[in-house]
Homo-oligomer: A and B are copies of this chain.
Amino acid sequence: MSPAPLFQRIALIGFGLIGGSIARAARAQGLAGEIVVTARSAATRARVRELGVVDRVVDTSAEAVKDADLVILCIPVGACGPVAQDIAPHLKAGAIVSDVGSVKGTVLRAMAPHLPNTVHFIPAHPVAGTEHSGPDSGFAELFINRWCILTPPPDADKAAVEKLATFWRALGANVEIMAADHHDLVLAVTSHLPHLIAYTIVGTADELEDVTQAEVLKFSAGGFRDFTRIAASDPTMWRDVFLANKDAVLEMLGAFQEDLSKLTRAIRRGDGEALFDHFTRTRAIRRGIVSLGQETADPDFGRKPAHLPKKAD
């Protein structure tokens, strides 16, 4: 007989890229006796039923969380407060309640007041993603070798935190514990600012007078395409991230603007030495990321076609 699964029942509220990947990975790893899913839209619920990757799909959050040992909100951060209010009366005593939002301070402050003292509220943020969204976009390997940051309140139950950490490790993630506000500052620079910049430049390129959109698309391999992947991320999720982490994002934007002005001035003045020094420093940072295993060192990622055409003759 197999050993007992980590959780008897897991409830996932929302089934986009993250929810769908959690479900697939948890099933593959045998982490739940039963996986119950709900989603706001009837179309998503119908699609999840068709996919057949979970045990049960129900129509309401209240129904989904009933008797669940682990409840994860896999929805945009702006929706977390209302859903917490909604599920609060139906939570099982002793359950772990978590989320996957990219901002933690706001989510913590929005959810905590609604939740009963009988549950363990431990916010989480798996730092993983692709440009795709929707119920079909998830895959079981999404979290492998990615970080999942837990931001338990200072008085959180240690055993519950450890149990949630065990869950994420079983999905392939490395777990880090951090205060919610520090998380928001770190992510403002490693994720939110890059997304904002990418969204900006892709928009800029779309509106030029002297260069057509067709030309931008055609010659994107010179660097532009690297920005478009993250500028194609889910619009609702990212709208909520910027609204929820406003202060930290504005702070990082200020630092970025100062640095951009410095480089702009170097270009205007023809100061090659300043440019060269800056570019040499940033190259070293890239090497640090590759050596930490957070990136592949393959040239061009996996984009390189395998073969040259048949020898010319």
* A-to-B contact residues, CB < 8 Å: 2-3, 6, 25, 28-31, 102, 127-132, 137, 139-142, 144-147, 149, 170-172, 176, 182, 185-187, 189-208, 210-211, 213, 215-233, 235-236, 238-240, 242-243, 246, 249-250, 252-253, 255-257, 259-260, 263-264, 267-268, 270, 272, 275-276, 278-283, 285-289, 292, 294-296, 298-309, 311-313
In the complex, the answer to whether A207 meets B29 with C-beta atoms within 8 Å is: no
Bound-state CA distance A151–B189 (Å) is: 40
Residues of chain B within 8 A of A210, CB atoms compared? 182, 185
Residues of chain B within 8 A of A141, CB atoms compared? 304-308
A41 to chain B, nearest CB (A): 17
Residues of chain B within 8 A of A213, CB atoms compared? 285, 288
Bound-state CA distance A264–B196 (Å) is: 9
With known contacts A3-B313, A222-B191, A275-B242, A232–B282 Cβ distance under 8 A = yes
In the complex, the answer to whether A249 meets B267 with C-beta atoms within 8 Å is: yes
A126 to chain B, nearest CB (A): 10
Bound-state CA distance A229–B280 (Å) is: 13
In the complex, the answer to whether A147 meets B219 with C-beta atoms within 8 Å is: yes
Q: Which of B28, B272, B294 contacts A308 (CB 8 A)?
A: B28
Residues of chain B within 8 A of A249, CB atoms compared? 267
